[in-house]
Structure 1
Amino acid sequence: MTLQSQLEESATSLVASLDPARGIRHGGKRQAAAGGETFGVEEPATGQLIASVSDGRAADATAAVDAAAAAFPGWSGTAPRARSEVVRRAFELMVDRSDQLAGIIALENGKALADARAEALYAAEFFRWFAEEAVRADGQYGEAPAGGTRTIITSRPVGVAALVTPWNFPAAMATRKIGPALAAGCTVVLKPASLTPLTALLVADILAEAGAPDGVVNVVPSTHSGEVVGSWLEDERVRKISFTGSTGVGRTLLAQAAARIVNSSMELGGNAPFVVAPDADLDVAVVGAMVAKFRNGGQACTAANRFYVHADVEPEFTARFGAAIESLKVGPSFGDGTDVGPLISASAVRDVTALVDHAVLGGARVTHRAIAPTDTGHFYPPTLLTGVSADAPILREEIFGPVAPVVTWRDRDELLQMLNDTAYGLAAYVFSSDLKWALQLAERIEAGMVGVNRGVVSDPSAPFGGVNQSGIGREGARDGIREYQETQYFSVDWSVPGS
């Protein structure tokens, strides 16, 4: 039996131990949904059912808040060092069990096993980072300008935090929110994506094993997202909403949060441009393009979505890029040597197919394409499109699939106009041998993150987030823990007694 087969068998066995039919976690207990309902989770590589998971409703959401609110005074009053040790222990357990975690991610998400392993370790890093941040509470002390008083500035946990995570990085998106929340002293209620709830259950179990007290981490899997999250936003005890997902859903949640002025963080859609300058090292640019575009099959909000290649190097770049695309091995998540797994669902395949078909009708050409299975699963072949016009509709959509449309450019001012011609502003990538030129361009791109000569921008120690309709707030770095804190200050009378 190959290692991949062993991991697949282990992941399948692990599903039963997660007790998904009692997948609601609150108050340290495994619960069935109050209404007894379940929903199915499929393996994208085969379309086969792998689990039936408890389908939470408003009553389950409220019970989770009951547990989180009851645990909040004790957890927020716990010494930062003690909170840090719990989160640090969760990091260690995730690293120790990274093969298990990767197996569950690959099974329910469909990403290639190598990608799943990378996510498991990346997800663990958020716990390590925020375990360290938990004991670095900062503050200020000083004399008021007018004299006679001293000002003490400190912070306190915002309260019960509602976390809503997507399916594309089911472990990392959970730990990127849970880690800073727990480090700050908040308790959480988590609604994972219904397509990938099993990873969240495993992370919750790891946190319990790490010593998180009952009620500190609560999970409500559900296909009734609006009902569950809506009940949290209406609950006076919930003081924070952190959401990662589409801009459309984020806009709706912000409107709901406005009714009670709930502290909100939103990591929303992206439309990342990828720029290749005429002096770029094409070997480096192709490596960066492969990572920026095809990691997780292009199903990432930071994925390169629009390739702007200078006309002088476009033929050579597309030839090299196309050859690399054609060499990709597309197959089941646990397949030997798989580079790119299936898309998450049949509807995702239909959406990507429609975008490509429409682009071809508009004059684009499919010049390079990998080979993908056609007899099973939700596969789409990694594809390179050339001859794409600067106003093509595909450049305005978040493709969320393994498709790279290429536009040529000559004038930098015209390039900048094309780069910023979007409502989004999450990530961008610039490749040039002239670092000054690259940074000058990067400064003018309306994006929260810019990769310069590299195809990855995500790092737990860096502030992740976008501008415009790509979101509000930042995750990771010191900024991440501040999203779960409120600033408080004390004005202290400092007059001299008897004066």
Structure 2
Amino acid sequence: MSTVSPVNRETAVVDSVNKELFIGGKWQQAEGGKTLPVYDPATGKVLCEVADASVADGKAALDAAVAAQHDWAQVAPRERGEILRRAYQLLVDRKDELGLLMTMEMGKPLAEATGEIQYAAEFFRWFAEEAVRIDGGYAVAPNGSGRFLVMKQPVGPSILITPWNFPMAMGGRKIGPAIAAGCTMVMKPASQTPLSMLALAGILSEAGLPDGVLNVITTNKTGEVMEPMIRDGRARKLSFTGSTGVGRKLLEQCADNVMRTSMELGGNAPFMVFDDADLDAAVEGCMTAKMRNIGEACTAANRIYVQRGIVDEFSRRLVERMAALPMGRGTEDGVVVGPLIDEAAVTKVTGLVDDAKQRGATVLTGGSAVDGPGNFYQATVLTDVPQDSRIAREEIFGPVAPITPFDTEDEVIASANDTEYGLVSYIYTSDLNRALRVSERLDTGMIGLNQGLVSNPAAPFGGVKQSGLGREGGTVGIEEFLETKYVAIGLQA
């Protein structure tokens, strides 16, 4: 019996993906045949070339979405749900190949990439069920003279922009509710990781999604291509996941046409461990919250606060775990620490760690980049990290765990809230009263209470302050793609 070598399998997986633009149900080259390279972050080598869309290509994608909107909105909710259900099954059936594809373009370890495919699929299963639960209302006017009829309708053509760190899950989180609600879409994935989304477009077409409902454009001229589409006026919804800085610019562009927006932006998550916590569980939870996706997640534990009486023991255990993590190419067996997305990411993490050291932080393990090839940074633990360091203020997006001791509950809450961000916080304590007190006082949209993972398709994901607007997932996720229409009914005597 013949076997396929790992290299040949990797090549076959990359070759299996159509690398053109997907517009109006057809694959086509970018204007002028222009392409952009996709790199393997573990080697720095070019994996392949994909289409590099122009402004005209973006307009064509929006034209296709607008043209398909009326007919798509008339499709029965059950039929929309069945398309999502078929897509769910196709993702699950092909998760090994899709996981390998994601590892090739993004770098995360293969086991984690395969897990993300399952996670992305769950959004399709969840919203397949939500499609038939879009409801409205009927009520008697308070004075009895009339009736109120409330209906929910699709908001209309939507522009979706996703980041590179979860290239399949972030697509599923947006595409799932848009399909369920009856909205057409133009999807723009990150230029570093376009292959997962191109593969997903093919799967949704195979699942029966009508032509023009989902259009995918890839480009490394994001601002140039997307701004005319946003300002066009025909798209009625923008859903963006990415940095707060880019989110602000997009909000400005949406303002002229008062476009509906959903924004899942940056995070600076505090991870708080009180002295009554289960220390084994806290360390395990910290590893999950810190090292998921190599730390390249907006939900990553960015500031680790440990009560002073247990900080030394917690630090010792965390160092033991972090120092033992195998590093390497994500396709290799047992690897936990893969490469960061690009050289700029390594430069940023290096700068944050160096700044913390200069301000008095101590490196307990790691603390430096790894010589190439590839974009690797050591799993790192810092202690005594001062509040005025850059690493306490900025997203790290890397495998660095900064520890700061605290003394009182009030002190740690003040430190946790001292940020422009408000996405997620983590609390470890065995005191129920404290858990509720602290949860109520934290300025974040989500809280992990004695657990290091909060993401779930059945729960509302999103933040407050400059971490974003709106929620994705849960029963409220579909509302972001629906408009409410009220009909006042006058009754004749």
TM-score bracket, normalised by the shorter chain, equals: over 0.9
1:147 aligns with 2:144: yes
Q: Within 1, Cα distance between the matches of 2:180 and 2:53?
A: 27
Q: CA deviation at 1:413?
A: 1.1
1:134 aligns with 2:119: no
Q: CA deviation at 1:412?
A: 1.2
What is aligned with 2:345? 348
* 1:269 partner amino acid: G
Counterparts of 1:324-339 in structure 2 under 5 Å?
A: 324-339=321-336
What is aligned with 1:281? 278
What is aligned with 1:14? 13
Q: Is the 8 A contact 1:180 1:484 kept in 2?
A: yes
1:176 aligns with 2:169: no
Q: Within 2, Cα distance between the matches of 1:213 and 1:370?
A: 51
SS of structure 1 residue aligned to 2:436: helix
| Deviations, residues 130-170 of structure 1 (Å, cap 9, x unaligned) | 00000001111110112221101111000000000000000
SS of structure 2 residue aligned to 1:205: helix
1:76 aligns with 2:110: no
Q: Within 2, Cα distance between the matches of 1:222 and 1:474?
A: 27
Cα pair distance change 1:62/1:278, threshold 3 Å: same
* 1:82 partner amino acid: E
| Deviations, residues 38-68 of structure 1 (Å, cap 9, x unaligned) | 1100000001100101100110011001111
SS of structure 2 residue aligned to 1:120: helix
1:449 aligns with 2:449: no
Question: Which runs of 5 or more structure 2 residues have no equivalent in the other structure?
Answer: none
* 1:13 partner amino acid: A
Q: Within 1, Cα distance between the matches of 2:359 and 2:280?
A: 30
Counterpart pick for 2:371 among 371, 374, 386: 374
The worse-fitting range, judged by mean Cα deviation, of 312-321 and 230-239 is 230-239
1:434 aligns with 2:434: no
What is aligned with 1:255? 252
Q: Is the 8 A contact 2:270 2:302 kept in 1?
A: yes
What is aligned with 1:227? 224
Counterparts of 1:4-403 in structure 2 under 5 Å?
A: 9-20=8-19, 23-369=20-366, 374-403=371-400
| Deviations, residues 379-438 of structure 1 (Å, cap 9, x unaligned) | 000100001123322100101101011100001111111010000000110001112212
Q: CA deviation at 1:372?
A: 7.7
Q: Is the 8 A contact 2:462 2:468 kept in 1?
A: yes
1:484 aligns with 2:487: no
Q: CA deviation at 1:9?
A: 3.6
Q: Is the 8 A contact 1:8 1:103 kept in 2?
A: no
The worse-fitting range, judged by mean Cα deviation, of 435-444 and 216-225 is 435-444
Q: Within 1, Cα distance between the matches of 2:444 and 2:23?
A: 38
* 1:327 partner amino acid: A
What is aligned with 1:417? 414
The normalised TM-score by structure 1 is 0.97
After the TM superposition, which parts of structure 1 deviate over 4 Å for at least 4 consecutive aligned residues?
5-8, 370-373
Q: Within 1, Cα distance between the matches of 2:323 and 2:392?
A: 22
Identity of aligned residues (%): 52
Q: Is the 8 A contact 1:7 1:99 kept in 2?
A: no
Q: Within 2, Cα distance between the matches of 1:44 and 1:201?
A: 19
Q: Within 2, Cα distance between the matches of 1:346 and 1:390?
A: 27
Q: Within 2, Cα distance between the matches of 1:116 and 1:371?
A: 25
* 1:50 partner amino acid: L
Q: CA deviation at 1:17?
A: 2.6
Q: CA deviation at 1:7?
A: 6.1
| Deviations, residues 157-216 of structure 1 (Å, cap 9, x unaligned) | 000000000000000000100000000000000000000000000010000000000101
Q: CA deviation at 1:482?
A: 0.3
Q: Is the 8 A contact 1:149 1:494 kept in 2?
A: yes
Q: Within 2, Cα distance between the matches of 1:489 and 1:15?
A: 49
1:494 aligns with 2:474: no
RMSD of the TM alignment (CA)? 1.6
Q: Is the 8 A contact 1:271 1:398 kept in 2?
A: yes
Q: Is the 8 A contact 2:367 2:381 kept in 1?
A: no
* 2:170 partner amino acid: M
The worse-fitting range, judged by mean Cα deviation, of 224-233 and 348-357 is 224-233
Q: Within 1, Cα distance between the matches of 2:94 and 2:372?
A: 33
Q: CA deviation at 1:370?
A: 8.8
Q: Within 1, Cα distance between the matches of 2:111 and 2:371?
A: 22
Q: Is the 8 A contact 1:271 1:306 kept in 2?
A: yes
Q: Is the 8 A contact 2:295 2:400 kept in 1?
A: yes
Question: Which runs of 5 or more structure 1 residues have no equivalent in the other structure?
Answer: none
Q: Is the 8 A contact 1:329 1:371 kept in 2?
A: no
